[in-house]
Amino acid sequence: MAEQKQQISIELPDELAEGTYANFAVITHSPAEFVMDFIRVLPGTKKSRVHARIIMAPQNAKALLRALEENIRRYEERHGEIKSSGKEEPGKQIGFQ
């Protein structure tokens, strides 16, 4: 039996359309879910706060990873390689700067 693709109508409320800027993320997980906290760290401040928390099932987190990988590949084909800032250390929290 052939798989049918279902179209979903997605609404973007005005209050969310502008988006939220984040330059730091903390990702944790349990057996049932991934929790991604998006934070804005500003120079000269000693305290930051979470501006968005996204919770996903592991299957959806993996689908998000694949979508990000594909979109980064397309971006780099068009605009060149994205250079990472700072020293990358496995197992450390990721700061997007």
| Chain centroid offset of residue 41 CA | 16
pLDDT tens for each residue of 14-67: 999 999 999 999 999 999 999 999 999 999 999 999 999 999 999 999 999 999
Domain map (residue ranges) of the chain: 23-80
Q: Residue 88 belongs to what H/E stretch?
A: none
pTM for this prediction: 0.76
